[in-house]
Amino acid sequence: MDYINKEIPKMFGNLVFNDSVMKNRLPKDIYRSLKKTIEEGTELDINSANSIASVMRDWAIEKGATHFTHWFQPLTGITAEKHESFIAAQQDGTVIMEFNGNELIKGEPDASSFPSGGLRATFEARGYTAWDPTSYSFIKGRCLCIPTVFCSYCGNVLDKKTPLLRSMEKLNENALRILNLFNVEGVTHVSSTVGPEQEYFLIDKKLFEQREDLKFCGRTLFGAKPPKGQEMEDHYFGAIRPRVDAFMEELDSELWKLGIFAKTEHNEVAPSQHELAPIFTTTNTASDHNQITMEMLKRIAEKHGLTCLLHEKPFAGINGSGKHNNWSLSTNTGKNLLDGGKNPITNKIFLLFLSAVIKAVDQHQDLLRISVASAGNDYRLGANEAPPAILSIFLGDELTSIMESIADDKAYTGSVHSSMKTGVHAIPGFRKDTTDRNRTSPFAFTGNKFEFRMVGSGMSIADANIVLNTIVADSLSEFADTLEKTEDISTAVDNIIKQTYIKHKRIVFNGNNYSEEWVLEAKKRGLLNLKTTADALSFFISKKNIELFERYGILSEVELRSRYEILLENYCKIINIEALTMQQIAKRNIYPSVSRYIKSLTELYCLKKSIDIAFEKDSTLLQIKKLTSLLDSLHFETENLENTVAHSKNIKNNEELSFYCKDIIIPSMNRLRAVADELETNTASSYWPFPTYGQLLYSV
C-alpha cells in the first residue's frame, strides 16, 4: 500500500498533455502564445500549431500511442472519435510518424452520422471539428485524444461543448461586472466549478447477457420485485465486496492516469448500486471528465466480468441512479463566491450571487427541467426516491431566516453558525453544517455550492450546466445593468437582494419534497410540475427561452429548434425500441417458457387422474387454469402493444408522437409488464427464461 501511495502522485495525470508537460516540452515562445490562446482566446498561428503538434506527437508516441483522434461530444450524449494513425508513407516504401498543425487544429468527421435535428441538409453532410485548447489532450489506449468542438459546415453548432464554453464565458463576463463594482482585488476571471457525483449499478456480466431488455434498452422491462429489495438499507456504506473492490481499484488508477480526481466511492442505498465522486473542477473539464468516467466505468467493469448500468432506472421498484451536479462559482484568486463565510449577513457579494441563483432558478424552472429530460429519467423524477419533477430550492433554516429578515427589514436575530456540541471536551465544537441535509430537494444549497440533483446518471452534464451558467449570467447581467447606473451602490445592492427575494421566494422550499402536500402547495405557488419529458419539451422553444439563448449568443433560434427536434426524436425512438423489445421478449421467451411449464403441469395432472388422485379442487389443475388465463392476457396485451406501436407510425409530428408515446404506448407497456411479472411469480424458476431481479441484484 505504501508503495502504491508513493506511486499515485507520479501516476496522476500521466496520460495527459497538461500544463506541466507543455511547459517542459514546448519552446518558450510557443508555450507563451498557447497560454495566451487558452486564457484570452487569441488565435494561434499555424507555425505555433505545427510546433505544438510535433511535440504532442513525440510525447504521445513515447506513451505508446499510434493513432490520434478528434474527440468530441455530439448531440447523442456520448463522445465520438474517429481514429487516424500517425503513419505517413514515404517514397521508399517505409513510413514515418507524422502529425502536423492542420491535423491538430481541424478535422472533418462525417457529420451525417450524428444527429443534427435538420441543421445539416443532406447535400451538405460536411461538418468539422476544431481543437479546443482549453481542454487538455490525453491518451486512451493507443490513441491520442484531442478535445474538439463540432459544428456543421455552415457554422451551426452540433455539439454540447461549444454552448457550454460560451455559457461559461457569459457567466464570467457578467460576474466580473458585479465584482468590478465592489473593487475586488486581483480578480480577472470567474469560472463555474462542478463536481458531479456519479451513481451506477454493477451486475454480473453473464446474467446481463441473458437479458435482452438490458442489452437493447439498458433497463429491465420485466421483473417481479424480489423478496428483499432495499428496505433494510444494509448496502449503503456497507463493506465493498472483493470483486467490486478490485474493479474500483483499477478504475481509480485508470482515472488518475487521465488526471481525473476520483475521490470517494461508496455503496448506494439500492443493492448493487454505487457512487463515485470526483473533486470538483472547472465546468468544461468536469464535463469532459465525466464523459470519460462513464466510458471507463463500462470498460473496466467488462474486464472484471461485470456490467455497469448507467441507466436512470434499470430496475422498477428499486432506487434509480442520478448524478448530483454540485455547482459553484470560483474566482481566479481562489475565492468561492457562494461561500457566505463566517458572517453571511454582512457578505453582500455572497448575498448578491445567492440572489442571482434564486432568481434564475425561479424564472427558468422549465429550462432546468428540460436540461434533465429523457425517457429514462422520467422513471426517476417524481418517483419517491429521487427529486420530484417540481423545481424548488432548499436554502436551509439559517439562510432562509437571513433572507426573510432582509425581506422584512428586520434585524437578523438568529445565531450565526451555531457550533455543534459533541459533549466531548476534547473535540472542538465543529461548525455545524448550517444547511443540514435535505435529501429530497432537487436543488439544494449545501454550504458553499448548489447541488442540482435531477441530472440523470447516463446523461452528459453539459446540458444542465449550459442552462445553469446561462440563467445565472442572465440574473447577474440584470443586476449589473441596475448597479452600473447608480451612485449609491450600497443601497442599490441591498435593494436588489431584498426585492429579488420578495419576488422569487416562492421557489424556496425547505420541507419534504416527496410529500403530497408539496405538490398541492407548489401548484398554489404557481410552480411548474412537468412530470414527463413530453410535458417538459414543449416549453423548450418558448419565446422566453429563444430570446435568452440568443441574447447571450449561446444558441441561435435555429440551433435551439434543432436540439428540440433531437430531444423529441430520441424520446420517441427510445420508447419505440422498448416497446418492440417487450413484444419480442413476451412472444419469444415468456410465452413459450410458460407454455412448456403448463405442459409439464398438464402431464402431471393427467398422471394424477390416471391413478385417480386428482381431486375436484386439484392444485395442479388450479395452477394450470391460472397460468393459462394469465398467458391469454399476456397474448392480449402483447397484441395491444403491437397495435399501438403500429398506429404510432402514422403520426408524423414528433411533438404529437411524444404525447402518444407517453399517454398510449407507455401505459400499454405497463399493462403487459404487469401480466408478465405475475406470470413470473407463478412459474417454476427452472422454466423462467431469464435471470430474475433477485439474481441480478445479488449477483456480485
Kindly list the residues in this chain that would bind ligand ADP in the complex (CB under 6 A): 193-195, 197, 277-280, 326-328, 336, 446, 448-449
Q: How far is CA 92 from CA 24, 62, 96, 229, in A?
A: 35, 25, 11, 68
Express the helix, strand and coil content of the chain in percent, nearest 5 each. 50, 15, 35
278 binds, among Mg ion, ligand ADP, none (CB under 5 to 8 A by kind): ligand ADP
Q: What is the pairing mode between strands 443-445 and 393-394?
A: parallel
The overall longest dimension of the chain from CA atoms, in Å, is 104
Distance from C-alpha of 172 to C-alpha of 276, rounded to nearest angstrom: 29
Q: Count of residues binding Mg ion (CB under 5 A)?
A: 1
- Give yes or no for a contact between 369 and 453, defined as CB atoms under 8 angstroms apart: no
Q: Kindly state the smallest distance separating residue 167's Cβ from Mg ion, in Å.
A: 23
Question: Cell for 646?
Answer: 403500429
Question: DSSP H helical segments within 63-109, as ranges?
Answer: 101-105
- Give yes or no for a contact between 234 and 323, defined as CB atoms under 8 angstroms apart: no
Q: Which is nearer to ligand ADP, 319 or 620 (CB)?
A: 319
User: In sequence order, which residues have a C-beta less than 8 Å from that of residue 108 and are 6 or more positions away?
Assistant: 126, 127, 128, 129
H or E element at residue 414: none
Q: Which is nearer to ligand ADP, 290 or 400 (CB)?
A: 290
Q: Which is nearer to ligand ADP, 282 or 600 (CB)?
A: 282
Q: Which of 219, 324, 369, 563 binds Mg ion (CB under 5 A)?
A: 324
Distance from C-alpha of 671 to C-alpha of 676, rounded to nearest angstrom: 9
Q: DSSP of 485-526, one letter per residue?
A: T-S-HHHHHHHHHHHHHHHHGGGB--S-TTSHHHHHHHHHTT
Q: Which is nearer to Mg ion, 324 or 359 (CB)?
A: 324
Q: Kindly state the smallest distance separating residue 286's Cβ from ligand ADP, in Å.
A: 8
Q: Which is nearer to ligand ADP, 408 or 433 (CB)?
A: 433
Which region among 33-41, 319-327, 363-371, 583-591 touches Mg ion (by CB under 5 A)? 319-327
Q: Which is nearer to ligand ADP, 449 or 662 (CB)?
A: 449
Q: Which is nearer to ligand ADP, 417 or 498 (CB)?
A: 417
Distance from C-alpha of 567 to C-alpha of 569, rounded to nearest angstrom: 5
Question: Cell for 33?
Answer: 502564445
Q: Kindly state the smallest distance separating residue 277's Cβ from Mg ion, in Å.
A: 7
Q: Which is nearer to ligand ADP, 207 or 276 (CB)?
A: 276
Question: Cell for 281?
Answer: 473542477
Q: Kindly state the smallest distance separating residue 513's Cβ from ligand ADP, in Å.
A: 17
Which region among 104-112, 128-136, 147-155, 324-332 touches Mg ion (by CB under 5 A)? 324-332
Distance from C-alpha of 466 to C-alpha of 161, rounded to nearest angstrom: 9
336 binds, among Mg ion, ligand ADP, none (CB under 5 to 8 A by kind): ligand ADP
- Give yes or no for a contact between 565 and 653, defined as CB atoms under 8 angstroms apart: no
The gap from C-alpha 26 to its chain's centroid, in whole angstroms, comes to 36
Q: Which is nearer to ligand ADP, 70 or 289 (CB)?
A: 289
- Give yes or no for a contact between 371 and 464, defined as CB atoms under 8 angstroms apart: yes
620 binds, among Mg ion, ligand ADP, none (CB under 5 to 8 A by kind): none
Q: Which is nearer to Mg ion, 410 or 439 (CB)?
A: 439
Which region among 60-68, 317-325, 563-571, 641-649 touches Mg ion (by CB under 5 A)? 317-325
Query: Contact between 166 and Mg ion (CB under 5 A)?
Result: no
Distance from C-alpha of 89 to C-alpha of 218, rounded to nearest angstrom: 43
Q: Kindly state the smallest distance separating residue 448's Cβ from ligand ADP, in Å.
A: 6
Q: Kindly state the smallest distance separating residue 421's Cβ from ligand ADP, in Å.
A: 22
Q: Which is nearer to ligand ADP, 194 or 202 (CB)?
A: 194
Q: Which is nearer to Mg ion, 268 or 366 (CB)?
A: 268
Q: Which residue is nearest to ligand ADP (CB)?
A: 195
Question: Cell for 301?
Answer: 467493469
Q: Kindly state the smallest distance separating residue 287's Cβ from Mg ion, in Å.
A: 18
Q: DSSP of 9-36, one letter per residue?
A: HHHTTTTEE-HHHHHHHS-HHHHHHHHH
Residue 228: CA atoms inside 13 Å, Cβ hemisphere, count?
12
Question: Cell for 342?
Answer: 463566517
194 binds, among ligand ADP, Mg ion, none (CB under 5 to 8 A by kind): ligand ADP
Dihedral sign of CA atoms 172, 484, 548, 364 in order: positive
Whose CA is closest to 454, among 140, 620, 305, 463? 463
Distance from C-alpha of 287 to C-alpha of 171, rounded to nearest angstrom: 17
Q: Which is nearer to Mg ion, 324 or 662 (CB)?
A: 324
Q: Kindly state the smallest distance separating residue 266's Cβ from ligand ADP, in Å.
A: 9
Place of cell 471539428: 129
271 binds, among Mg ion, ligand ADP, none (CB under 5 to 8 A by kind): none
Q: Kindly state the smallest distance separating residue 437's Cβ from Mg ion, in Å.
A: 9
Q: Kindly state the smallest distance separating residue 260's Cβ from ligand ADP, in Å.
A: 12
Q: Kindly state the smallest distance separating residue 289's Cβ from ligand ADP, in Å.
A: 11
254 binds, among Mg ion, ligand ADP, none (CB under 5 to 8 A by kind): none
Tell me, what amino acid is at 273? Q
DSSP class of residue 225 equals P
Q: Kindly state the smallest distance separating residue 324's Cβ from Mg ion, in Å.
A: 4
Q: Kindly state the smallest distance separating residue 293's Cβ from ligand ADP, in Å.
A: 12
Q: Which residue is nearest to Mg ion (CB)?
A: 324
Which region among 30-38, 220-228, 323-331, 356-364 touches Mg ion (by CB under 5 A)? 323-331
76 binds, among ligand ADP, Mg ion, none (CB under 5 to 8 A by kind): none
Q: Per-residue string for binding with Mg ion, 235-274, x by CB under 5 A? A: ----------------------------------------
* Burial of 324 per CB tally in 10 Å (0-12, 13-18, 19+): buried
Q: Kindly state the smallest distance separating residue 197's Cβ from ligand ADP, in Å.
A: 5
- Give the 3-state secondary structure of residue 412: coil
Question: Cell for 12?
Answer: 496522476
Q: Which is nearer to ligand ADP, 73 or 193 (CB)?
A: 193
Q: By the criterion CB under 5 A, which residues form the site for Mg ion?
A: 324
